[in-house]
Amino acid sequence: MRYYFMKPMLMLLLLLLCFGLCDAKPFDIQAFSDTTQYNWQDYRDRASYREDLLLRQNRLQLYELESVPFNANLLKSAVVPGWGQFATKHDTKATVILSLELVTVIGAVYFHNQAKNNYDKYFEADQIDDINNYWGKAEKPYHYSLMLVGLASVIWGYNIYDVVISTNEYNAKLWDDIMQRQGSSPLQITPNGLELRF
Partner 1 sequence: MIRKFIPLILILLALGACDIKRDNPLDPYHNHSIVKPGDVTGLHGIVRNAGTLTPYIEFHWNSNDSADTDGYYLYRSLGYYNSFAVVDTILHISGTSLQSYEHSAANDPSVAPGDYWYCISAFKDYPQGRLEGRLSSLHLVRILSQ
Write out the residues near partner 1 by the rule CB under 8 A: 115, 119, 122-123, 125-129, 131, 135, 138-139, 142, 146, 149-150, 153-154, 157
Angle at 197 between CA 196 and CA 198, to 5 degrees: 125
- Considering the complex, state which of residue 55 and residue 107 has its C-beta at the smaller distance from partner 1: 107
Burial of 29 (0-12, 13-18, 19+ CB in 10 A): exposed
Q: What's the closest the beta carbon of residue 22 comes to partner 1, in angstroms?
A: 58
Contact yes or no for 95/82 (Cβ under 8 A): yes
- Considering the complex, state which of residue 63 and residue 119 has its C-beta at the smaller distance from partner 1: 119
What is d(CA 57, CA 188) in angstroms, rounded to the nearest whole number?
A: 14
- Considering the complex, state which of residue 23 and residue 126 has its C-beta at the smaller distance from partner 1: 126
- Considering the complex, state which of residue 112 and residue 181 has its C-beta at the smaller distance from partner 1: 112
* Helix 128-184 and helix 43-66, axial crossing angle in degrees, nearest 10: 160
Q: What's the closest the beta carbon of residue 70 comes to partner 1, in angstroms?
A: 21
User: Is residue 195 helix, strand or coil?
Assistant: strand
Q: What's the closest the beta carbon of residue 83 comes to partner 1, in angstroms?
A: 21
> Residue 163: what residue type?
V
Q: What's the closest the beta carbon of residue 130 comes to partner 1, in angstroms?
A: 8
